[in-house]
Amino acid sequence: MTTRKTTTKAQARPARAKAGDRTALPLPDAPFHGKIGKTYKESKQEWPALPKAPKGAPNVVIILLDDVGFGQVSTFGGPVPTPCLEKLAASGLRYNRFHTTAICGPSRAALITGRNHHNCGSGFLAEWATGFPSYNCMLPQSTATIGRLLKDNGYNTSWFGKNHNTPDWESSVVGPFDRWPTGLGFDYFYGFVGGETHQYYPVLFENTKPVEPDRSPEEGYHFMTDMTDRAIGWLRYSKAVNPDKPVLLYFAPGAAHAPHHAPKAWREKFKGQFDQGWDQVREETYQRQLKLGVIPKGTANTPRPEWVKPWDELSADERRLYARFMENFAGYLSFADHECGRLLDAVEALPDADNTLVFYIVGDNGASSEGGFTGTVNEVMNLNGIPSNLEDNLKRIDDIGAPDTEPHYPLGWAWAGNAPFQWVKQVASHFGGSRNPMVVSWPAKIRDKGGIRSHFTHLIDIVPTILDVASIPAPKTVNGIKQKRMDGVSIAATFKSKNAKPVRERQYFEIFSNRAIYDKGWIACAQHTFPWRQDFAPGNWDKDRWELYNLDEDYSENTDLAARFPRKLAALQKTFEQECRKYGVYPMDDRGAERLSIPKPPSGGADPKRRQFTYYPGAVRLAETAAPNTKNRSHRIDVSIAREGDGVLLAEGGQSAGFVLYVKDGKPCYHYNFFELERTSIESGRPLPKGKSKVSFEFRYDGGGGGKGGEAVLFVNDKVVGRKRIERTVAGRFGIDTFGVGCDTGSPVCNAYRPPFAFSGEIEKVDIVLGDPGLSEDEERAMQARFHAGINY
């Protein structure tokens, strides 16, 4: 009875909306004003009017880069040339007090909903999700996205590039698709799902369908160019079909998030340009920032922290390697700006280009320190708690940025890239984590070309601003669901004048228990966890040292005033407590790897205790978290073959780490890739028999902790054809590639073939059995939790 009554109300709300009322979405069907007689001769037809945007509503383009610090792009004084961003800034405005949440997924949720990240269920990343409303990473229906709001008000809407707002467990090709871009109100999506992807071998989806790149890296493929081409094509097609219909284009490159994949010509442009090291590069950046006016006169360049080693204390090999890492990153970031420039050129060619509002947001958080102290050519290995070493990295120095590497620079470059601020990505307590450049252009409305705006602003302000300038109200209901009020405010007043009144006088920050509260020019903050130590969960939140800064006098948070003004600090701490309760920040959680191991909702609502799985041909692009977890346990794989052939039978993971069962030259083979440090292959000495057969693999795990070894056995028709020992296995995650039957999509697990190496025969099915039959299900889960407790992500 309750469900039936609720449905009736939900259906009735839009129908009661008055003509022109946009507070209930979707807009109601237009009434018929024609005439219906007995025949068409005495009748008058009228087509139903479709939703139409308010007159004068602008096109909207949102560009959001990834993992770029305040002091990295030349437009804000950084060492990496970004001429396309500079051109846009010359015709628009630079915002030098714009803020993010300090990490990817939460920032993106805040951007597209206009709500604080906890208030839209995205307190941290989906991979770390827990079953609390603020941390389950399942965008609620009460926080409809800008895609939904503009689509229902007569816009064409699209999303290109990174989507880190679909939970892991909902990212398989069978859905549910409610929290995919197309389920969130975007008409079209082309990109990847998750925190990152390989730029040469991306895990791609078009809407909800998996797709493959149209050419190989050797043939010149790079995802940054591909997504730009797609976005330009969509934009032109939309305007060709209906030039009067405004568009929303959300363009979210994976750049410059790791893996840092710069085309060779681009990384070679920067050869020798970072040999002076991170101390000097940061100081040079600081001086340029002062000269450009993007930081106020008198701003201090905060000193190097103890966790960054002085450049002149590094060995010659370290300096040579670390400079190369930065050359590669600079090439990647500059190349990304070039591709964004191609998109902006297409925007400039539109017939209504002047009425196009562009937000170019330089990073969803500060520069990333997740490469650790030494940098790496296999960042997934680092995220699994296995550090790179100088000797191994030096062997690959000439390949850094190439398709067979997955690089991330050392943390010293992240510190330099956040000049003049303290700290880095994830550390929401300080501006090195949360202050990012933004450029806004709107030729029809912005007159102060090249101006600088120093208003305190935040990602949550973008949606209210778009609604404001388009004359669209924030809806009270969407699909009958009452909407939470917007947490952001419009910043449109700043488009007209640098002397506009403050638009935002209070904002809280919290990521991973690093936290801060801004209020009318003051900020109190407490740093709690370390981005490069996911195994470090100190607890004892009450023992954190709080700092206090007067931002009106101290732009870079250089002089801690906590000891001088204890009452002010106490008052701000009280305000922070109020904001936490208002926006759902609690419960705070500083666990890293242990939090990763918390069971997530099973894919498709399956039984979380399930141990037996059967897959059929066509089961591809299954996210690692939605696939059978073969790690840290015994398991068996049986592939029933109807007709022999060559190619991949089953693969999971990719170049960084993973396993594959394949047939080459008629002979079955199992290959295990342990972060490219150790590779184990077991090959049958004989080819498969003609017709039907069964290829099986069994792993007999040693136990005794996570990432241990075991005996690997290969069978054909239940007869042993090969046996080897695998000494070390991946305890955490294989990385950014996926699970699939019949082909190896993305980067190759094994170098013996080129992907996708689709099986040329016929597979009937694949059966997988997990776990040691001697353990109960509860014992098995307890063992898994212990395995993950010490893993560093």
Q: What is the pLDDT of residue 606?
A: 58
Segment of 9-23, 109-123, 380-394 carrying the highest mean pLDDT: 109-123
Query: Parallel, antiparallel, or unpaired for β 247-252 and 522-526?
Result: unpaired
| Model confidence band, residue 104 (pLDDT cutoffs 50, 70, 90) | very high
Q: Does position 790 have pLDDT exceeding 60, yes or no?
A: no
Q: What is the pLDDT of residue 208?
A: 96
Mean pLDDT of 100-120: 98
Query: 10 Å Cβ neighbour count for 717?
Result: 12
| Percentage of the chain modeled with pLDDT above 70 | 94
Torsion sign, CA atoms 376, 378, 379, 385: negative
Q: Provide Rg for the chain, Cα atoms.
A: 27
| DSSP code string of 170-217 | G-STT---TTSGGGTT-SEEEEEESS---SSS--EEETTEEE--SS-G
Mean pLDDT of 574-578: 98
Residue 75 CA to its chain's centroid (Å): 24
Mean pLDDT of 554-559: 98
Residue 90 CA to its chain's centroid (Å): 29
Q: Does position 36 have pLDDT exceeding 70, yes or no?
A: yes
d(CA 404, CA 676): 10
Mean pLDDT of 278-287: 98
The verdict on whether omega for the bond into residue 587 sits within 30 degrees of 0, i.e. cis, is yes
Q: Between 446 and 605, where is the model more confident?
A: 446
Burial class (CB in 10 A: 0-12, 13-18, 19+), 527: buried
Q: Between 389 and 118, where is the model more confident?
A: 118
Mean pLDDT of 199-215: 95
d(CA 663, CA 645): 7
Q: Which CATH class is domain 510-595?
A: alpha beta
- The answer to whether 268 and 331 are in contact (CB under 8 A) is yes
Q: What is the pLDDT of residue 784?
A: 44
Angle among Cα 145, 490, 153 to the nearest 5 degrees reads 40
Angle among Cα 189, 193, 198 to the nearest 5 degrees reads 110
Q: What is the DSSP letter of 408?
A: B
| Model confidence band, residue 238 (pLDDT cutoffs 50, 70, 90) | very high
d(CA 62, CA 159): 10
Mean pLDDT of 758-772: 94
Bin 293: left if φ > 0, else alpha if -120 < ψ < 50, else beta.
left
Q: Tokens standing for 496?
A: 């007209």
Q: Does position 13 have pLDDT exceeding 50, yes or no?
A: no
Q: Does position 690 have pLDDT exceeding 60, yes or no?
A: yes
d(CA 111, CA 456): 16
| DSSP code string of 454-504 | ---EEGGGHHHHHHHHTT-PPPSEETTEEPPPPSS---THHHH-TTPPPS-
Nearest to 611 by CA among 766, 731, 768, 732: 768
Q: What residues does each domain of the chain span?
A: 59-499, 510-595, 609-788
Cβ-defined contacts of 311-317 (< 8 Å, 24+)? 311/276, 311/277, 311/278, 311/279, 311/280, 311/412, 312/277, 312/279, 314/277, 315/390, 317/390, 317/394
Dump pLDDT digits (tens) for 590-608: 998 778 777 788 765 556 6
Q: Between 320 and 773, where is the model more confident?
A: 320
Q: What is the pLDDT of residue 774?
A: 47
Mean pLDDT of 622-638: 91
The three-state (H, E, C) secondary structure of 655-713, written as one string:
CCCEEEEEEECCEEEEEEEECCCEEEEEECCCCCCCCCEEEEEEEEECCCCCCCCEEEE
d(CA 607, CA 601): 9
Dump pLDDT digits (tens) for 645-655: 999 999 999 99
| DSSP code string of 63-102 | EE-SS--TTSBGGGT-SB--HHHHHHHHTSEEESSEE--S
Residue 703 CA to its chain's centroid (Å): 34
Dmax over CA atoms of the chain, in Å, equals 93
Chosen CATH of 609-788 out of 3.20.19.10, 3.30.1490.20, 2.60.120.200, 1.10.1610.10: 2.60.120.200
- How many CA atoms within 13 Å lie on the side-chain side of 256? 38
CA dist 469 → 200, 271, 397, 488, 495 (Å): 39, 45, 50, 14, 11
| Model confidence band, residue 383 (pLDDT cutoffs 50, 70, 90) | confident
Q: What is the pLDDT of residue 387?
A: 85
d(CA 682, CA 670): 5
Nearest to 402 by CA among 336, 322, 332: 332
Reported residue count of the chain is 793
Q: Between 458 and 168, where is the model more confident?
A: 458
Query: 10 Å Cβ neighbour count for 221?
Result: 17
d(CA 660, CA 741): 10
Q: Tokens standing for 678?
A: 């150790």
What fold, for 59-499? Alkaline Phosphatase, subunit A (3.40.720)
| Model confidence band, residue 70 (pLDDT cutoffs 50, 70, 90) | very high
Which three-class secondary structure state does DSSP give residue 542?
helix
- The answer to whether 475 and 117 are in contact (CB under 8 A) is no
Mean pLDDT of 64-71: 98
